[in-house]
């Protein structure tokens, strides 16, 4: 789906009269359904200085609590920037959720200049995530940051 259309749909979800958890889950559903190869889509939210798994779509994961600096998620949080991994098998600091995963993107969510969460997406396809995905997801993260 085109970025513009996706942003419009995310905006509609954010403006719904639903609780935070439902809206975050609906954003996961949208991304998973409309973007080919977005096989696992989830949010981590910062609580007491660590990343805690929030709403997600896909297989359950053991990695419900991740420290800053740990794995792809923790590295993105520590560096305060998006992290794209084309081939997770080549990434040493990686926490595996499923052997099917080949590539991953993690985009931090900021509020008042602080990382307050992340969007994490896994793909079963190698090098699935490109600059276009990063730009779209950074826009989504910015919108989500305002609702947190
Ligand atoms: N692969 C992530 C862990 C989260 S799962 O992908 C859901 C990481 O290395 O931080």
Which residue from 72, 107, 115 has its CB within 8 A of the most atoms of ligand 1, so it is best to mutate?
72
- 37-46 tens-digit pLDDT: 999 999 999 9
Q: Is the Cβ atom of 84 under 6 angstroms away from ligand 1? A: no
Give the pTM.
0.97
- 76-98 tens-digit pLDDT: 999 999 999 999 999 999 999 99
Residues 148, 145: Cα–Cα separation, whole Å: 5
Closest ligand 1 atom to the C-alpha of 61? 7
pLDDT in tens, the chain (148 residues): 899 999 999 999 999 999 999 999 999 999 999 999 999 999 999 999 999 999 999 999 999 999 999 999 999 999 999 999 999 999 999 999 999 999 999 999 999 999 999 999 999 999 999 999 999 999 999 999 999 9
């Amino acid at each position: 789906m085109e970025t513009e259309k996706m942003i419009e749909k995310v905006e509609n979800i954010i403006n719904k009269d639903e609780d935070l958890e439902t809206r975050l889950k609906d954003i996961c559903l949208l991304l998973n359904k409309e973007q080919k190869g977005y096989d696992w889509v989830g949010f981590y939210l910062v609580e007491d200085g660590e990343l805690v798994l929030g709403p997600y779509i896909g297989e359950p994961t053991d990695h419900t609590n991740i420290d800053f600096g740990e794995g792809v998620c923790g590295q993105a949080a520590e560096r305060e920037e998006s992290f794209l991994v084309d081939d997770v098998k080549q990434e040493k600091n990686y926490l595996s959720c499923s052997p099917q995963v080949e590539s991953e993107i993690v985009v931090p969510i900021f509020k008042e200049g602080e990382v307050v969460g992340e969007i994490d997406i896994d793909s079963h396809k190698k090098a699935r995530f490109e600059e276009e995905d990063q730009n779209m997801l950074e826009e989504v993260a910015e919108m989500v940051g305002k609702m947190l």
